[in-house]
Structures are given as C-alpha cells and as structure tokens.
Amino acid sequence: MYNPIFEKEKFKREVTNNVKTLFRKSVEEATPQQLFQAVSYAIKEVIIDDWIATQKAYNEQDPKIVYYMSMEFLMGRALGNNLINMTAYKEVAEALDEMGIDLNTIEDEEPDAALGNGGLGRLAACFLDSLATLGYAAYGCGIRYRYGMFKQKIEDGYQIETPDNWLKNGNPFELRRPEYAREVRFGGNIRVEYDEVGKTHFVQEHYESVRAVPYDMPIVGYNNHMVNTLRIWDAEPIVDFQLDEFDRGDYHKAVEQENLAKNIVEVLYPNDNHYAGKELRLKQQYFFISASIQQAVAKYKTTHDDIHKLPEKVTFQMNDTHPTVAVAELMRILLDEEGLGWNEAWEITTHTCAYTNHTIMAEALEKWPIDLFSRLLPRVYQIIQEIDRRFVEQIRHQYPGDEGKVKRMAILMDGQVKMAHLAIVAGYSVNGVAALHTEILKKQELRDFYEMMPSKFNNKTNGITQRRFLMHGNPLLADWVTDKLGTKDWITDLSLMDGLKEWADDGEALQEFMSIKYKNKERLAQYILEHNGIEIDPRSIFDVQVKRLHEYKRQLLNILHVMYLYNQIKEHPEKSFYPRTFIFGAKASAGYIRAKQIIKLINSVADVVNNDRSINGKLKVVFIEDYRVSNAELLFAGADVSEQISTASKEASGTGNMKFMLNGAPTLGTMDGANVEIVQEVGIENAFIFGLSSDEVISYEQNGGYNPVDIYNSDHEIRRVVDQLVDGTYGYGNREMYRDLYNSLLNTKSSSRADMYFILKDFRAYAEAQEKVEAAYRDRDRWARMALLNTASCGKFSSDRTIEEYVKDIWHLDKLTVEV
C-alpha cells in the first residue's frame, strides 16, 4: 500500500524543525495556528515530489489538457483533504498525537479558501478533486482574490458582512510562480497598420496594463501520486514591464496602473445568481482569462508547432458565462499574435471552447453594455462584432425573413453584449447540469439555439466528491461503509455503495447506522452550543436547510412553516408532537435586501420559539452563522432531513442535496434539479416529494402567475401565519419589520407578480410532506431503512461519474499515470 508520509519519526522531526525555523519556538510553545503552518509545510514537502513527478508525466506523455475556467473555486480547507487523498490522514493524526498535538484542532486553524459563492464554485472544486483522482491532466484557472466570500456575523438577528482576510497568516500550500507572469491590457484604442505585404495589423495603444502573476495550489489525487494544479492569478503593477514609448516616464499613469492592479483582484463579488453589471467584474473576467489563455497557448507551443492542432491537446471549459470572453481572447491571440486568417482561427476556437450553463434565472444572465465593453476591451469587442456579424448572416440564411430569430439570438442586441449567446455560438458543447435543467434549456430558455444546433446540447448531471463529503466529513460512516462492503474501493467508485442495500433489512446494521447518525448529531449539537449558545436535543429531528439565501430556494417557505408548527403546538398543547430542530445556514448577497429580511425573520422566529418555555423545547430553530465548506461537512453528517424545496424549474441541479443523501438524510423536496434523479435512484418511497411540478410552474408563469390572495382568504391557518409577519409577533412589536415580505407574498405592486415563487401555492403540500416526515421518523426501523437506502443509492452522484462523462462526451482526455 502506498504510504507517502515516510517514516513517522522523520515527519515528527520535520514538524518540530518547521516550528523552530518559522517561529523560533518549540512545539510546546507554538500556538495552534503556528502548528497548523508547521504541519502544512511538512505535508507540502511530500506533495511537491508528486507534483514534480506529475509535471514530468505531463511532459513525457503529452496528454490532452482540460483548462477549467472559473471565476470561482470554493475549495474550503486543504490540510485535511490533502491528508485524506494522500491516504495519510490516520498516520499523521497518530504521529501528531504522539507529539501532543490534536489534528482536528489544528485543522480548525486553517481558514477556508472561500473563492466562490455557492454551488458553481464548489462544483469546480469537486471537479478538480475528481480529475486528479481519475488521472486526467487538468488546470483550474481562476483568480486569487485577496478577500474571498465575506464572513457572516449575526448581530441582533441581522447579517453583518466582514472581510475575509484569508491570506493574513500566509497560505502554506500555495506556490508563487513569477516566471509565468503575463501582461494583460485594458482600454486605449486600436490602430490599424498595413505591413509591406499588405497584411493588416491591429495595434492596441494608449492602454493600461497589469502584470498577472500565477499562484499554484496543488490538487492531490486520491492514492495515485497525481498532483494537478489550480492556477489562480494575482495582479501586480506593471512597473518592471516595458511601457509603451508613449507612456515612458508618465508618473500619473504609473499610479493608475498601481491602482488597477490593486483593485482588480481585491474581492470576490458575493452575488449568486444575480448579475450586477459592474465594470470591475468585467475587468476581473478578462484579467484571468487573458492570462490563462496566453499561458495555455504558450505551453502548447513549447512542444507543438502546428497551432491548427490546438484542439487535439487543449480544451477550455467555461464554467457558466463568466469566462466567456475566452472565446474572443483566443481568437485575438490566433489572429493578431499567431497571424492566422479568420476562418482558421474560428475553426480552432470552435473546437476548443465548451460551455456549461448553471442557471435559468433570468436575472443571472450576463449582458454587458456595449459602451462599457468596447471601451474596456476594444480589440476583443471588434472580434465579437465580427463573430456576431457572421452569426446573424447565418441566421438570416437559415431562417429567411425571420427577424424575430435575429433579435432573440444575436450576440449584440439592444446595446448589449450577450455572453451566453457568444458562448453557445462559439462553444462546441453546451451542457446543463441535471437532466431536467437541460430539458428546460432545450425547450424554453435556449430553444432557438437548440433548434439551430441541436448536436451541441448535452446533459452532465452534477456530482460531489465522496473524499471530502464522506471520508473527511463523516469518518464514522466512512469506516462503517468500508466494513460493510468489505472494501475501500467505494472511495474511487461510488457505484459500489449499492452493495449496502444488502443491509437494508438487517436490524443490527440499521442500528449501527443510526447510532453513527446519532454521534454526528451530538457533534453538531456541540458545535451549535459553542457557536450559537443554543442547546438542542440530538434526539429531535434535525431538519436542515443550508445553501445561499435566495427567494427561489424558498427559505421563506421553511420558516413560515415553522411559524405554522409553533401555532399548532401553542393551540394544541395536548397533541403529540415529535421534537424538531430546524437548522438554517445561508449567506445573503450584501445588496439583496429581501434575502436579508428573511435571515432576520429566521432569527426572530428562533428568538421567540427557543425562549418559549411553554412548548417544552419541542421546537427549536437555529441559524448557523457563517455557513461555509468547513462547517457544511458537520451539517451534512448530522442531518436527518435534507430540505431541497426550490420552486420547481428554478434550481438547475443543486449539489447539497447529494451531500445529504450520501450522509443518509432523506430529501424533503420538490421535483426540481437533480432531486428528480435522486428520487429515481432511491425510490419515491424513500423521499418526501411535494409541490408544483416544473411544467406547472412554467405554465403559470406563462399565464401571468396565480392569485395567492385566494389561498390567503380560504385557508385560515395560512392566513394566520402570513398575518403574523405584520402583527408584531416576530417584530418585537414592530409591525413594519416584515411588511415587505408580507407584500411580496400578496401584493402585486411589491414585485412584478405576487408570490413569484409559489410559496403559498405550495404551502399545504409542504406541510403535509412535513407531517409524513414526522410519521416516518416515529417509526425508527422504517426511518433507519430509509436513511440507509439513501446512502446506498447515491452512487450516481459522485463527481467521478460526472467527470468521466465530460471526458467521454466533451473533453476526450487521455488517462495519465504518474510513476514515483
């Protein structure tokens, strides 16, 4: 068996020595943070050898490389994950223990690398893990934000954002690579020149530029010596580059460039599914894309001399539309720097770029104002104009007289650059992230494009890595699975989980399974006691909804239902009620007022309910502060019920749903996103499904919505809950506090439609599904079986499966082997 952590004693000496040279201290004197640093550097030492060996394998085997281009990589912590993938976790824990150091404690010293918002960023991180584990050559390309996703504090029930200074103690795993720095240019104007042979040249002048400097983070594959690279770019002022002759000695300009460099990578935009049209964001996009593409082309050219064959060795996967400027940047390099003609360049580009769509939310679509775009990226804009001109010609040719098509499909329209259209036109593949989502893209959102180019469209249902979300997050269950299956192979082949079904009717196995769940609930309860000061009973049903806060995800439906339950308990104290703990975790975009009101409401309800002694602790509500990858692992492991209650059709896939399933929590959800496939795998009897279907939602939407006031008038229990938003019950007497939420449900004036997300429409069905949850939970054997079957049926949802599908259908990569 491969064991990279050498001899234990050598490792211990290394840690001791690191503490000494880094901090001039002994192990006994060092702080936990210093020990974290010392241990991480010792681990990095080992990783570096495999990293070098992987580079050597790249050079010798010349595999095709996928560049996963993403504005976001939500990596979380690295230390524990690296140890898991090096198969050294237990040995290292033991060695540290002998030194009087607790591995868990020092793991907690590592800040999350939170370079992402939510689903899309975490998916990118899972994909990198799977790519390295499966032996594929891949680079993650992104931005080294100085500040990642903001830290959330809850003060007086309100969300307060504070900066995430994740680099303040340094990042032991990263490697600065100044030798690969690139220049990226913004603004100015394009001068056209003709050379002696009459060839046209486009020269950008009077531009501002920054130096892009890459930092590499190792991506350790599981038990295979493969170490891939996440390359994130930092910006520095250009000073040691040659300025234009025109600019030389221009002090003012030097200062501006200093500012540009500082601003560009300063902070991750905390918007999820909402496009704000900020110029700085476009700068961020072009900055990391230009640097990454320049580098990929340069790397290709060091070993290949025919640029036309680029698509045989390189593929750029664009994670949503955020990196789509890649299309035009690659064209620019091929045209202006490689001197190719338009057709050749287009041929190469359209066989190299592929696009993944992650949302149908209209407000998430990126459309840049043409004046902004052309001012910032003049040459890139010219190229997009030409792409658009040719595409429109093609539409007119294929659909003569149909100007509606042109209006709907053009890349440049109504003063805007439509990034999704550019991605589809230039991409050789367009994929959605769950079966239902892809169908909605084909039939609704992207219908015209699907009709014109059906063969580009395909589905790749998302997945998650079991290395982090079971092995690291839930070691008790991981060991149990290994024991029951008699093999560890599920770690790299999750379909083997199916073998657990054998134990679904074995009383003893079920009991073991549930006692592991109980221990994880105790661990979570302990975390909540420490962080929230709230005592919760691990015997109660842990009902968990953790994800970004968004109206379409319907945290409001969940909390309204808690208010409804509270009313029931108060009114019928005699009725038996199984104790429930409702746990929420969510960050709201800083500018998303209504989302923030929902957080405040959840906290107000928690305040009232948790402090009402008359209900004997039957109901508890907890809002987890600063939900993030590291505490998510505890939440998935400790959950009984997985809340996946988005308005059908709105959640492209969801990936949290899969993490809960893996950890044995049945889904309480709508037929949306990947929930549909979860139900297919586990059986509808092992989930709690409710609510409108996506077809029903879409059909209501096409007919102007529905009238929530009818429901309000006819269902007095619903009315009571809605009224409690404005009668002071949860406003500490203030009736205006939740007026906007009340209006959003009933009043057409407050939004384009009343109850846009069908909360009241689905309320009864949701409450009934919750009753079924309670009934099922009371039957301990039935519940245990259900929970176990969820874990046993999650095989499809490994990101390993997803990546193999991308490789087979889109990327066509070769498998590498790394020899050490």
Give me the least distance between CB of 588 and ligand 26W, in Å please.
Answer: 14
Binding pattern to ligand 26W, positions 442-471, x when CB under 6 A? --------------------x---------
Select from 44-52, 240-248, 358-366, 573-581 the region that touches ligand 26W (CB under 6 A). 358-366
User: DSSP states of 730-752 as a string?
Assistant: TTTT-SSTTHHHHHHHH-TTTSS
Give me the least distance between CB of 233 and ligand 26W, in Å please.
Answer: 19
> Smallest Cα–Cα separation from 115: which of 127, 128, 125, 130?
125
Binding pattern to ligand 26W, positions 244-273, x when CB under 6 A? ---------------------------xxx
Q: Which of 54, 82, 159, 359 binds ligand 26W (CB under 6 A)?
A: 359
Q: Which of 358, 418, 561, 628 binds ligand 26W (CB under 6 A)?
A: 358
Select from 115-123, 441-449, 451-459, 598-606 the region that touches ligand 26W (CB under 6 A). 115-123
Select from 188-196, 205-213, 359-367, 575-583 the region that touches ligand 26W (CB under 6 A). 359-367
Sort strands 430-432 and 416-418 into parallel, antiparallel or unpaired: unpaired
Residue partners of 446: CB distance under 8 A and separation at least 6: 357, 420, 424, 430, 457
Give me the least distance between CB of 655 and ligand 26W, in Å please.
Answer: 5
DSSP state for residue 501 in the 8-state scheme: G
Q: Which of 109, 110, 366, 800 binds ligand 26W (CB under 6 A)?
A: 366
Residue partners of 254: CB distance under 8 A and separation at least 6: 237, 239
* Tokens 């209650």 sit on residue: 645
User: DSSP states of 211-280 as a string?
Assistant: EEEEEEEEEE-SSS--EEEEEEEEEEE-TTSPPPGGGTT-HHHHHHHHHHHHHHTSB----SS-----HH
> Using N-to-C axis directions, what is the helix angle for 716-723 and 555-571, rounded to 10°?
110
Q: Which of 118, 172, 214, 218 binds ligand 26W (CB under 6 A)?
A: 118
If one asks whether residue 681 binds ligand 26W (CB under 6 A), the answer comes out as no
Task: Select the residue whose beta carbon is closest to ligand 26W and give its number.
Answer: 119
Select from 48-56, 94-102, 119-127, 681-689 the region that touches ligand 26W (CB under 6 A). 119-127
If one asks whether residue 364 binds ligand 26W (CB under 6 A), the answer comes out as yes
Return the SS3 of 50: helix
Nearer to ligand 26W, 43 or 264 (CB): 264
Binding pattern to ligand 26W, positions 121-160, x when CB under 6 A? --x-------------------------------------
Give me the least distance between CB of 121 and ligand 26W, in Å please.
Answer: 7
Give me the least distance between CB of 443 and ligand 26W, in Å please.
Answer: 18
Give me the least distance between CB of 193 and ligand 26W, in Å please.
Answer: 37
* Tokens 């591995």 sit on residue: 103
End-to-end CA separation in angstroms for the chain: 14
> Smallest Cα–Cα separation from 776: which of 560, 569, 578?
578
Give me the least distance between CB of 317 and ligand 26W, in Å please.
Answer: 13
Give me the least distance between CB of 619 and ligand 26W, in Å please.
Answer: 30
Nearer to ligand 26W, 126 or 514 (CB): 126
- CA-CA distance, 697 to 569, in Å (whole number)? 32
List the catalytic residues.
358, 547-548, 553, 655, 659
> Smallest Cα–Cα separation from 659: which of 579, 743, 545, 773?
545
- CA-CA distance, 223 to 228, in Å (whole number)? 13
Q: Which of 145, 275, 449, 542 binds ligand 26W (CB under 6 A)?
A: 275
Amino acid at 274: H
- CA-CA distance, 190 to 205, in Å (whole number)? 6
Nearer to ligand 26W, 50 or 366 (CB): 366
> Smallest Cα–Cα separation from 188: which of 205, 171, 164?
205
Q: For residue 21, what are the CA distances in angstroms to 14, 26, 30?
A: 10, 10, 12
> Using N-to-C axis directions, what is the helix angle for 325-332 and 279-303, rounded to 10°?
50
Sort strands 580-585 and 541-546 into parallel, antiparallel or unpaired: parallel
Give me the least distance between CB of 363 and ligand 26W, in Å please.
Answer: 8
Binding to ligand 26W (CB under 6 A) within 317-346 occurs at 320
Nearer to ligand 26W, 119 or 708 (CB): 119
Give me the least distance between CB of 327 and ligand 26W, in Å please.
Answer: 17
Select from 100-108, 112-120, 134-142, 186-194 the region that touches ligand 26W (CB under 6 A). 112-120
**Exposed e or buried b per residue across 356-393, where buried means at least 16 C-beta atoms within 10 angstroms of its C-beta:** bbbbbbeebbbbbebeebbebbbbbbbbbbebbeebbe
Give me the least distance between CB of 150 and ligand 26W, in Å please.
Answer: 15
How large is the greatest C-alpha to C-alpha distance in the chain, in angstroms? 95
Binding to ligand 26W (CB under 6 A) within 642-661 occurs at 651-655
CA atoms within 13 A on the CB side of 157: 17
Nearer to ligand 26W, 231 or 548 (CB): 548
Nearer to ligand 26W, 548 or 561 (CB): 548
Q: How many residues bind ligand 26W (CB under 6 A)?
A: 23
If one asks whether residue 677 binds ligand 26W (CB under 6 A), the answer comes out as no
The token pair at 118 is 């939510």
Q: For residue 211, what are the CA distances in angstroms to 70, 265, 588?
A: 19, 12, 33
If one asks whether residue 439 binds ligand 26W (CB under 6 A), the answer comes out as no
403 and 380 Cβ atoms separated by less than 8 Å: no
Binding pattern to ligand 26W, positions 401-430, x when CB under 6 A? ------------------------------
User: DSSP states of 351-376 as a string?
Assistant: TTEEEE-----GGG--EEEHHHHHHH
If one asks whether residue 274 binds ligand 26W (CB under 6 A), the answer comes out as yes
- Which residues make up the interface to ligand 26W (CB under 6 A)? 117-120, 123, 271-275, 320, 358-359, 364, 366, 433, 462, 651-655, 673
